[in-house]
């Protein structure tokens, strides 16, 4: 018999009884009273509290427990007047209100809302540990006559909502440590099953990076379920988080999970290698090196996955621990050199394959052919511009590796293979863009024109600033009045630098439109575009410095105003770059 069958049966009886009851809408005044915990407002309430529900069948207890009180404090962080922020501090809901409501209507203890959530689920979700303990005590007191031998409080703890979440699932999902302690302490020997999403409480804690909860679950629970969706385990989740503390704790308790594969045959080491989590890769290899030899359903090992992503450091880490895995190939017959040829930076290819680097003889894999007869060097020659010099530096074999000596059929074949490689993914995360010839010439021209306009504007502004110097001229001599001012000198130097960089950007834009460069746009266009972008950015930075210096020079008599204006301008500029970097990291 299901451990929670008795209480579930009672809930079913209550549901049937409710169909015969006339429910009363929880009106605004009573709703506010429930929200505020005002028990006196329900003294004059006609009818049973059991019948007072919202449209989603939330009772008075659901409304009260789903709310969180906050006290607001003002904390000044910046030594400027009127600058402060509000820091909310959570206050636990009062157990007195819950106790008095249950005294008046004990049936509310197990009454579910439209989602199948009883008050215990709501209290666990919002972290009301004191009320969780109260509800457990009331369950022990109210339901003593259950016949299946399971304690009534434990039966309540094991009840699930319509998504198959127990109270522990909810407390773990929202990171409420005290509530988790209270729930596990009452029922430590129950192996909590997965919800409809396939997540166990341990999996949820690991996936969200709650290393403290992972430790509590392992230490306090007698039987721990580590299952997750898609055949994953809690160790997969800890790697995806990524949380090295949770990973270390799970390895300490469940070392065998290093070889546990998901439905695609991918182990936690596959995940760590694909996502590029170097510290976690190193930790997993130190725990169990044999996981590096496990291939997924596409015959991809962690080394091949990482080589496909192009992160040289992790590739070398795996090879150092498990040199034998270099010999494993995927379904296409590609070894790690094939993938590195289209994903790694050129400098990393040199590091791996130059004769001076004899690391486990990586060079010997350069001649290994895939099932179509393509070697890594041929893939490199067909997929990367400027590859002839690179190939000849790595290996002197002009006949077989020169791009000009590859027939059109082989080039097309390699191109199709690259498209296939670029569509792979691990746990919903796509492969990084491959470093092959994918320059969009129309997009390139539009971006080039936009950058040339910016460079021209910077050149115009800097030229005008040089003519109309801040502070003006001495009428009898024609020299700058502020020529001996330090800030003015900074302005002149920064203005000159901005002019030089903007002119360089304009000249590179002009050169990129010459017939010779246009004919070789795919080969050299990206390099010139990068130089234009760098020079334009440096010119912009120099222009900002020049503007700030000129402001400071002319406002020196009003020091507070000068400092304030300069701080606002530089602060905004630095904030812009920080925000840009932050967004880029999120995308990565």
- Is the confidence at residue 15, as pLDDT, over 60? no
pLDDT at site 159: 95
Q: Does the pLDDT at position 148 exceed 50?
A: yes
pLDDT tier at 83 (50, 70, 90 boundaries)?
Answer: very low
Taking the C-alpha atoms of residue 588 and residue 473, their distance in angstroms, rounded to an integer, is 52
Please check the confidence at residue 523 and state whether its pLDDT lies above 60: no
- The CA angle 254-257-262, to the nearest 5 degrees, is 150
State the CB neighbour count (10 A cutoff) for residue 300: 28
pLDDT for 160? 96
- Check pLDDT > 80 for residue 125: yes
Would you say residue 218 has pLDDT above 90?
Answer: yes
What pLDDT does 535 receive? 82
Report the SS3 class of residue 444: helix
Secondary structure percentages of the chain, helix, strand, coil, to 5: 65, 5, 35
Check whether 146 has a pLDDT greater than 60: no
Q: Say if residues 234 and 199 touch (Cβ distance below 8 Å).
A: no
To the nearest whole percent, how much of the chain has pLDDT over 70?
72
Q: Where is average pLDDT lowest: 199-213, 269-283, 416-430?
A: 416-430
**Domains along the sequence of the chain with CATH:** 1-188 (1.25.40.20), 301-437 (1.25.40.20), 441-587 (no CATH)
CB 175 within 8 A of CB 192: no
What does the pLDDT read at residue 79? 40
* Lowest-confidence pick of 151-155, 275-279, 359-363: 359-363
pLDDT at 462 over 80: no
C-alpha distances (whole Å) from 10 to each of 55, 263, 524 are: 23, 39, 76
**Lowest mean pLDDT: which of 24-28, 52-56, 171-175, 338-342?**
24-28
Give the count of beta carbons closer than 10 Å to the beta carbon of residue 378. Answer: 27
Regarding predicted confidence, which is higher, 510 or 231?
A: 231
Question: Which range, 56-65, 444-453, 521-530, 535-544, is most confident?
Answer: 56-65
The fraction of the chain above a pLDDT of 90, given in percent, is 38
Give just the sign of the alpha carbon dihedral 393, 396, 400, 402. positive
Q: What is the pTM of this model?
A: 0.73
**Alpha helices in 422-514, H assignment, sequence order:** 441-467, 486-511
pLDDT in tens, 524-534: 445 566 677 78
Crossing angle for the helix pair 336-343 and 302-309, to the nearest 10 degrees: 20
Residue count of the chain: 588
Q: Which residue has the higher pLDDT, 265 or 465?
A: 265
Where is pLDDT greater, at 134 or 385?
A: 134
User: For residue 239, what pLDDT is reported?
Assistant: 97
**Least confident among 106-120, 136-150, 254-268, 563-577:** 136-150
Is the pLDDT at 348 greater than 60, yes or no? yes
Average confidence score pLDDT of the chain = 79
pLDDT of residue 19: 47
More confident residue, 75 or 28: 28
Classify residue 558 by burial, with Cβ atoms within 10 Å: 0-12, 13-18, 19+: exposed
**Per-residue model confidence (pLDDT) at position 214:** 97
């Amino acid at each position: 018999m299901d451990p929670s069958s008795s209480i579930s049966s009672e809930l079913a009886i209550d549901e049937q009884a409710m169909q015969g009851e006339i429910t009363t809408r929880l009106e605004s005044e009573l709703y506010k009273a429930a929200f505020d915990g005002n028990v006196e407002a329900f003294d004059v309430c006609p009818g049973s509290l059991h019948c007072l529900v919202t449209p989603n069948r939330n009772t008075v207890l659901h409304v009260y427990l789903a709310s969180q009180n906050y006290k607001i404090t003002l904390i000044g962080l910046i030594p400027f007047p009127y600058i402060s922020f509000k820091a909310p501090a959570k206050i636990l809901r009062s157990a007195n209100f819950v106790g008095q409501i249950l005294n008046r209507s004990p049936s509310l203890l197990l009454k579910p809302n439209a989602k199948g959530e009883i008050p215990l689920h709501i209290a666990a979700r919002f972290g009301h540990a004191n009320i969780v303990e109260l509800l457990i005590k009331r369950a022990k007191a109210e339901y003593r006559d259950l016949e299946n031998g399971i304690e009534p409080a434990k039966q309540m703890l094991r009840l699930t909502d319509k998504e198959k979440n127990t109270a522990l699932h909810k407390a773990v999902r929202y990171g409420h440590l005290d509530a988790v302690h209270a729930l596990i302490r009452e029922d430590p020997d129950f192996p909590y099953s997965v919800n409809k999403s396939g997540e166990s409480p341990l999996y949820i804690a690991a996936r969200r990076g709650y290393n403290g909860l992972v430790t509590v679950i392992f230490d306090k629970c007698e039987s721990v379920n580590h299952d997750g969706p898609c055949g994953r385990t809690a160790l997969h989740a800890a790697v995806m988080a990524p949380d090295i503390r949770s990973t270390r704790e799970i390895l300490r308790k469940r070392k065998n999970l290093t070889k546990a594969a998901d439905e695609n045959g991918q182990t936690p080491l596959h995940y760590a290698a694909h996502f590029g989590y170097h510290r976690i890769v190193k930790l997993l290899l130190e725990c169990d090196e044999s996981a590096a030899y496990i291939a997924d359903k596409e015959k991809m090992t962690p080394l091949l996955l990482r080589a496909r992503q192009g992160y040289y450091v992790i590739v070398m880490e795996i090879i150092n621990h498990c040199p034998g895995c270099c010999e494993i190939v995927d379904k296409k017959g590609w070894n790690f050199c094939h993938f590195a040829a289209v994903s790694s930076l050129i400098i990393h290819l040199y590091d791996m394959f130059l004769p001076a680097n004899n690391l486990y003889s990586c060079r010997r894999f350069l001649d290994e052919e895939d099932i179509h007869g393509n070697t890594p060097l041929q893939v490199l020659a067909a997929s990367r511009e400027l590859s002839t010099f690179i190939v000849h530096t790595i290996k002197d074999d002009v006949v077989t590796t020169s791009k000009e000596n590859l027939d059109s059929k082989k080039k097309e074949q390699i191109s199709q293979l690259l498209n296939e490689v670029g569509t792979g993914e691990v746990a919903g995360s796509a492969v990084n863009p491959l470093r092959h010839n994918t320059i969009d010439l129309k997009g390139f021209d539009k971006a080039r024109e936009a950058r040339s306009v910016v460079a021209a504007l910077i050149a115009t502004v800097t030229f005008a600033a040089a003519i109309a110097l801040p502070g003006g001229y001495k009428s009898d001599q024609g020299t700058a009045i502020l020529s001996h001012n330090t800030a003015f000198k900074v302005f002149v130097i920064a203005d000159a630098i901005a002019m030089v960089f903007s002119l360089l950007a304009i000249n590179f834009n002009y050169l990129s439109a010459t017939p010779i460069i246009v004919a070789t746009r795919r080969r050299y266009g990206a390099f010139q575009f990068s130089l234009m972008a760098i020079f334009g950015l440096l010119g912009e930075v120099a222009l900002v410095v020049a503007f700030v210096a000129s402001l400071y020079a002319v406002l020196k008599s009003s020091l507070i105003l000068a400092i304030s204006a300069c701080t606002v301008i530089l602060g905004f500029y630095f904030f812009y770059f920080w925000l840009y970097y932050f967004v880029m990291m999120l995308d990565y």
